[in-house]
Structure 1
Amino acid sequence: MLTKSSLEQINPPARLLMGPGPINADPRVLRAMSSQLVGQYDPAMTEYMNQTMALYRQVFRTNNEWTMLVDGTSRSGIEAVLVSIIRPGDKVLVPIFGRFGHLLCEIARRCRAEVHTLEIPWGEVFDPQQIEDAIKTVHPRILLTVQGDTSTTMLQPLEQLGEICQRHQVLFYCDATASIAGNPLKTDLWHLDAVSAGLQKCLGGPSGSAPVTLSDAFVQQVRARRHIEQGIKSAQHQDGEDEMIYSNYFDLGMIMDYWGPERLNHHTEATSMLFAARECARIIAQEGIDVCVARHQLHGAALDKGLSAMGLELFGDLSHKMSNVTGVIIPEGINGEQVRQLLLNDFGIEIGTSFGPLHGKIWRIGVMGYNARKDTVLTTLAALEAVLRHLGYVANEGAALQAAWDHYGQ
């Protein structure tokens, strides 16, 4: 039923989004999104697509030809990679250290993979030897990893895993949605075969476009599978059904044909989101990817210093935490949801709750993208201290801000 407010223009409240994502989009990205549309085969549009591919090669630190966008949220990129490479019965290995490892398992099972897992307590990461030992036991075709899992704020080391996978002839996929541009990620140097991401965290944009990059070895195996039309024909005769890719929209072979020089029609490109994704990558390329990562490290560390000075305990193995998201253990006697609501309603600041085994135990505070700035860090620390003191938590007044300032001064 339509109400009077349904007919009013959208006018969302002003919020400072300091949770695990999404974050406030960079104003330059919002301006790019408001650009007028052009036809999907207009030379201007195809040139923007080429520029977007080149820009994301810088972000992913790769020379991969097939570096492009999947239209949809970051999960669409994950699903496109998995549905395009996994064949029914394939063995896949998933090291799970948070919620998003479970997501990879769920999608892989929908692809009818034989899923094998490693699990450790939330707040820890895997030693590469643990993963290699499992590879030797399972003999998977594909290793599915998450680099940074915002549910635990942990960052899984990847540097040695690519070489391990190459030695054992295993394809290596990584979901870098929450980590890319805020933590080091070197696709080619670390021998990653496929990486997918999303705009709504360190890339500084809105959710709705999923950059992906694919190695030649990965592309070769995707291309080797029959086109879906051939698969359907084979499936009707119960012959070759295992070669069939069960999604049209997420078939990376068809998406590559669309982004490639042939520009074969597959879908109508989400033009405004392409403009947004291009601007996210342009801003990072202009800043420099290493400088962007260092910026996140600087402001993330300042936040951590301030939280610790406030007397709060940070969650997990701090030697392996993400630079852009911090888990904070909720102090005994403090209602975590009450704190979040006071921050939102009285200060316009959003921080994250948690779920699974950490539900009600930690807050998650993010410093990402356009919000990775000194003023946002200091504002968040001041507001959190004020709310906690209001609720009876004993904190040294001003200690959090001073600790952050001291860190910046260094």
Structure 2
Amino acid sequence: MNKPELLAPAGNIEKLKTAIEFGADAVYLGGSKLNLRAFADNFSLDELKEGIEFAHSRNKKVYITLNVFPHNEDLNGLEEYLKDLYEIKADAVIVSDPGIIMTAREVVPNLEIHLSTQANSVNYKTAIFWHKQGVKRIVVARELSLKEIKSMKEKIPETCEIEAFVHGSMCISYSGRCLLSNYMTGRDSNRGACAQPCRYKYSLVEEKRPNEYFPVYEDEKGTYIMNSKDLCMIEHIPDLISAGIDSLKIEGRMKSSYYVASVVKAYREAIDTYFENPEEYKFNEKWMEYLTKPSHRRYTTGFYYGDSNKQHYESSSYIRDFDIVGIVRSYDKETGIAVIEQRNKCYAGDKVEVLRPRGENLEIELKDLKNKDGEAIESTPVAQMIYTIKTDKVLESGNMLIKGKN
């Protein structure tokens, strides 16, 4: 068995560095053009270069998303953009449109191509077809079961890789190809501007029975009949590996750095633990704790084991029981003073959890709270303010301070 790649989302440069420091083998992100997260903090070309250099210095990879379904005007500048990505040493582009694939093969023939899940690949013949067009990796549709993925892997060439989502938000429409947003808001989900109308509240009424509501609602406010639970396969690592998946993908380019750190840490530890001793591998409940603290919806295993219960009807809101309150920027072992960058307000005397890439999380008390001028303070009310604390527990740059909500 080959150890699968752990692939994490990177919505900006901070999240890219967080994902890599917490154990991702590769990250995927959007540049300035043709990606399906128009409202993310997408990377400029200089930021892409910085991120790629950071990743490569640690032997990690960076994949760039060009996964929209482009209209004619979207193709302006495509050739130059592909050349730029190749010159800054992007490891691959993630593409769904045949026109972009054709263009990439023409202008940057040595740039690796991965086929986006948007392309709806659900069988081995399709995978073989795309592989013959120069596609190295197939990101399979989320509608496949593990049994189907394993069968596909057995029938495609060894040179063709399979990538599959294992964690994060799921779209109500087939492989994300949704028209609801276009119809209801004029924002094209297939060009990166989805308004997520699947998360709205709906009620069902038959046209000849006005004001007669069918019993699909959970309370008097209506129901979220198209609201999907979040995918979570942390308890099924052996099954994912047995299916032959080459890359385990985490969704969430719009999610927080805290989400990225917690989810990557959980899957990193689970994968590594399995490969240390597959015969005696046991699921560790702490991995699920890492995944339930950041913002998330209720979890499901999606389509992997058949048509399970994937909808959450009561609410479209996220479960948010914990917040990140700070990121460690430095720590002096001699003085025990840590420099922290604020992310949410906290108070002197608060007990917080320290999320770190390796080892068990720590618990510390915020003692001797001071601002950057060395003045004692009772709280940290200013966004991204720099403050210091004193602790005898050794912290490292990039550690995150997490606090439960009251």
TM-score where L is the length of structure 2: 0.27
Q: Which has the higher contact order (CA 8 A, sep 6+)?
A: 1
Query: Which structure is higher in strand share?
Result: 2
TM-score where L is the length of structure 1: 0.26
Query: Which structure is higher in helix share?
Result: 1
